[in-house]
Amino acid sequence: MNIAVTGATGRMGRTVIETATDRADVTVAFGVDADVGSGEVAGVRVYQPGELESLLEEARPNALIDFTVPAAAVANAEAAADAAVPVVIGTTGFDEDEEARLEELAERVPVLKTGNFSRGVQALLLALEDALEALPGYDVEVTETHHNQKRDAPSGTAGMILDRIDAVRGEGERVHGRVGDQPREAGEVGVHARRVGDVGSEHEVLIGGNDELLSIEHRSHSRRVFAEGAIDAAVWIAGQRPDFYGFSDVLEVGE
């Protein structure tokens, strides 16, 4: 199994490459990043984005893993589709047009996109759905914490949590933080994003009412858990037909 990594010198791209070197089932053909730096990561050569198309044609990787920014991720996915290379996307913060473009590309090659590659987060989503069904009418608050360089807020994982809440309860008003006189309205969901230090990833859902409070929380201890998941997704997607997938498809659990 041979993979390519875009965003190779970033926090997650670098971790993906370093993690892959410890696995027997994958090798990294090359990395791509606008900020090449030393020109390699963990012994893997890193190239400029303008070289991606030719690299894909020459190396013919089984899948491309992308951790960049939305505009770059779409461009990278387009290059991969042109080369008939499946795509795994961990980039978050896409707008509606970018999402639509990725879905169009999924008609040509398999595309897997998720806000989180953690198996524990998938378990959180499943537990959350059961909790919400068992506690109708209870208040819900979502808080996420990440390192101080994270670009999008709320996080992609928080977005997944909010979408799951909407799927169970119907779409409600999302209140991002509170200031001043803001009594809580029935059915609203509070959303809070914190950015501090080099925190990896923390997400908590509070469900409260009837003199009780339920907390469902996930914390990652390192980025390696997400890198392992992304590589697992790349191994899985190499054998799939063109379509738009999520990480739950890899784990064979419900969305």
Which residues carry out catalysis? 146, 150
The contacts of residue 147 (CB under 8 Å, 6+ apart) are 11, 195, 196, 197, 198, 199, 200
Written as one string, the DSSP assignment of 166-218 is HHHH----EEES--SS-PPPTT-EEEEEEE-TT--EEEEEEEEETTEEEEEEE
Instruction: Fill in the DSSP letter of residue 177.
Output: S
The contacts of residue 186 (CB under 8 Å, 6+ apart) are none
Contact at 8 Å (CB) between 19 and 3?
no
